[in-house]
Every structure is written in C-alpha cells, then in structure tokens.
Amino acid sequence: MKIIIHIAVQTLELLDDAGQVLRRYAVSTALKGAGEVSGSFCTPRGWHIIRAKIGAGCPVNSVFVRRRPTGEIYTPELGAQFPQRDWILTRIMWLSGCEVGFNRLGKSDTMRRYIYLHGTPDTEPVGVAGSHGCIRMRNADLLELFELVPVGAAVEIVE
C-alpha cells in the first residue's frame, strides 16, 4: 500500500500493491508551495513514511496541540474564538522523510518539521493550497485513510 500526494492538483491517492488507485481524496497542501527547508511553511516533496499514527479512538473534531488531544472538540464557535489558530483535528499521521539530505536530517527533516496528514475544520477549503506545510484533509476522509494505512506505509509527495 502506498500514498501519493499530488501538490499540483491537491489530491491524495491511496494505491494497492499493484498500483491500482483504491481511494482519491481532495487535500490542502502548503499555501507557500513545495519546499523542504525548516521554517519555510512549504510542503516537503519526495519519499516519506508514516512514522506514527496518533489519535485512534478520539472523537471526530478532537483538537490536537503538539500531537496531544487538548480535550477540546472543534466547533465553529471555538474557531471564532481563536481565528488565527492552525487547527489540527481528529487524527494525525506524522511523516518522516526517507531521502537523506533532501527531506531527512539537517534543516530539511520532515519529521522535525512536524509535517502531518491531519484533519481540518469543515469550513476550511480543501482541493486548494492553504496549509502551513502539512497536508490537510476532511475529517471523514482522514478517518477512513487512518484505518486503511499502516504505520510504515510509503508516502510520495510530488509536484
């Protein structure tokens, strides 16, 4: 099983071992485009793996800060209270780069940049770039993907 994220068209494809597309989801990658450098707020390209899956069993719209559930459940009212907050909701799949010198180690390390696949409020657009570097997904789509994909699964991010 493998995931391919297409930055140009803002989609994520889940492929089986034979390369057949099992699922296709709209996503939102970085507003600032593709890039690997820490602090760039860009989505890193290349080969990654899912290093960790976080949030199993948490309710839909659970709010995460530093990969831990806060106990909050996102609502439009909570969103209005904190309009500048970058909401990480429902589940997290934490990516780790596989290409030393490109997206692994040094100033380009995807894992140390805290790049995730994560849920987003239903009011946020997907299918268009808008994140701070992570890959945002609709909560329902993320829940489905979270159950289908194991830790260690390959993730390729392409322009």
pLDDT at 137: 98
Query: Averaged over 100-123, what is the pLDDT?
Result: 96
Cβ atoms of residues 117 and 145 within 8 Å: yes
For position 49, what pLDDT does the model report?
98
Q: Taking residues 55-68, what's their average pLDDT? A: 97
The pLDDT value recorded for residue 41 is 97
H or E element that contains 144: helix 139-148
- Give CA angle at 109 (103, 115), nearest 5°: 95
| Model pLDDT, residue 53 | 98
Which domain range does residue 90 map to?
A: 2-158
Q: Which of 137, 139, 135, 145 is nearest to 45 (CA)?
A: 135
pLDDT band at 45 (very low <50, low <70, confident <90, very high): very high
How many domains, the chain? 1
Whose structure tokens read 């106990």? 71
91: domain CATH number?
A: 2.40.440.10
Task: Convert the pLDDT of each residue in 91-100 to its tens digit.
Answer: 999 999 999 9
